[in-house]
Structure formats: C-alpha cells, structure tokens
C-alpha cells in the first residue's frame, strides 16, 4: 500500500507588507542615434551602421534642457527649439552631462 500523500498546508501571511517600493527618479539619458522608426539622426538612413555616425553620436553629451527643465515643453506647451524630449546636447564639462 502506498503511503498517504501529505496534505499540503496553506500558509497565509497575516502581516502587512513591510515596504512599498518607490520608483527611483529616472536618470538623464542621451537620445538614441536612431529615431523611433529606425532612421539614423545623422545621415537619415534606415538601420545605418556607418562608423562615422556611430562615432559622432558616441561623442555627444546631453543634459536636462534649461528651458523646459526636462519636460520637453516650453511655456506655451510647445517643444523647445533646441531640446530633444527634455535634453539638450551640451559640452562635455556641462554639469550633469551624460555621454551617449
């Protein structure tokens, strides 16, 4: 005769969750070299693998746009002229600049 299977026991936690995970503030990141449709922002070729474009993009630095403070909008709720969705290209020494 086979031994009886043990009845699984349910353990129900009656304690409240101890911590709520608060999302961290996203960090500044450089725009990708391709747009959302896959076109290179430098030569406008789809799926570009040009070393020149790759090097150009890799040499860029980006920081939060001082005009819209990163919202990607100006006071008239239009996109800023020189910012790309909240970041602007800056010189390497710019405070908070991140490289691409």
Binding site for Zn ion (CB under 5 A): 40, 42-43, 48, 50, 53, 65, 67-68, 80, 83
Task: Identify which of residues 38 and 99 has a Cβ nearer to Zn ion in the complex.
Answer: 38
Quote the least distance from Cβ 92 to Zn ion, whole Å: 20
Task: Identify which of residues 15 and 78 has a Cβ nearer to Zn ion in the complex.
Answer: 78
Residues sharing a CB contact under 8 Å with residue 48, sequence separation 6 or more, in sequence order? 33, 34, 39, 40, 42
Quote the least distance from Cβ 19 to Zn ion, whole Å: 35
Dist CA 74 CA 66 (whole Å): 10
Task: Identify which of residues 6 and 29 has a Cβ nearer to Zn ion in the complex.
Answer: 29
Closest to 90 in 3D by CA, of 69, 59, 68: 59
């Amino acid at each position: 005769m086979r031994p009886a299977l043990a009845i699984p026991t349910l353990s129900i936690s009656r304690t409240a969750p101890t911590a709520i995970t608060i999302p961290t503030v996203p960090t500044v990141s450089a725009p990708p070299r391709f747009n959302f449709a896959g076109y290179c922002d430098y030569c406008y070729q789809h799926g570009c693998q040009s070393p020149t474009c790759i090097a150009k993009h890799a040499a860029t630095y980006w920081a939060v746009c001082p005009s819209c403070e990163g919202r990607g909008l100006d006071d008239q709720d239009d996109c800023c002229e020189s910012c790309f969705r909240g970041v602007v290209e800056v010189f390497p020494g710019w405070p908070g600049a991140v490289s691409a």
